[in-house]
Amino acid sequence: MGPIAKLNKAKLFNNKNNLEKIFKKLNAEKVLLSYNVYSYISDIITMFRRYRRNNAKNEILEFLEVNEEEINDYIFMNTADIFLLSAFSEIVRHEICPFDKIGKEINGDIKINNFEEWEHEIKEDMDIYIKKAISFIKDTMDKEANGKPPATLTKNATFHRSMILNIREAYS
């Protein structure tokens, strides 16, 4: 529901079906972890914006492991906060396990025993997952832009579906 959250937050809560989707899987741990991940993503976006205003503040180049000539390929980061969170979540589902599978068998194996272990795994490799999320958005941008500005795509439901599909295909 990233595009809805990005374009019109009120729509999330004015629709009974959306409310059911949101609150069905919601719990305090997920809210807190999502908030912490979103805050970290916001810090990275701030690094990007800071560099765009003053290229002497080049922490984002180090984080993304790119040079000055490549940074314009990441202009989507100005508006990609919700999509980065969504991509991050999808990557975690594949690399660690889905939240609803914590403590349950997946292909005959219990990958994660409890929430604390799941959260630890996420926090331990958060930079890796965020970099992968950025990379998936960039790859999807490269494939689907067709002259559309990044700010338009990072609010577009079709683009979001393509991005999630690209992630799922990469892990299948």
Per-residue pLDDT of the chain (172 residues; tens, 9 = 90+): 566 666 666 666 677 776 677 667 677 887 888 888 999 999 999 999 999 998 888 999 999 999 999 999 999 999 888 889 999 999 999 999 888 888 888 777 878 888 889 889 999 999 999 999 999 999 999 998 787 888 888 888 888 899 999 999 999 8
Phi, psi at residue 80, to the nearest 5°? -95, 15
Q: How far apart are CA 132 and CA 95, in angstroms?
A: 11
Q: For position 108, what pLDDT does the model report?
A: 79
User: Tens of pLDDT along 48-94?
Assistant: 999 999 888 899 999 999 999 999 999 999 988 888 999 999 999 99
* Tally of domains in the chain: 1
Q: For position 23, what pLDDT does the model report?
A: 67
Amino acid at 87: A
Q: How far apart are CA 16 and CA 63, in angstroms?
A: 40
The range of the structural domain enclosing residue 34 comes to 2-171
Angle ∠(60,57,66) on CA atoms, nearest 5: 35
Q: For position 18, what pLDDT does the model report?
A: 65
Q: Which helix (H) or strand (E) holds 110?
A: strand 109-110
Q: For position 55, what pLDDT does the model report?
A: 84
- Which residues does 107 contact at the CB level (< 8 Å), separation at least 6? none
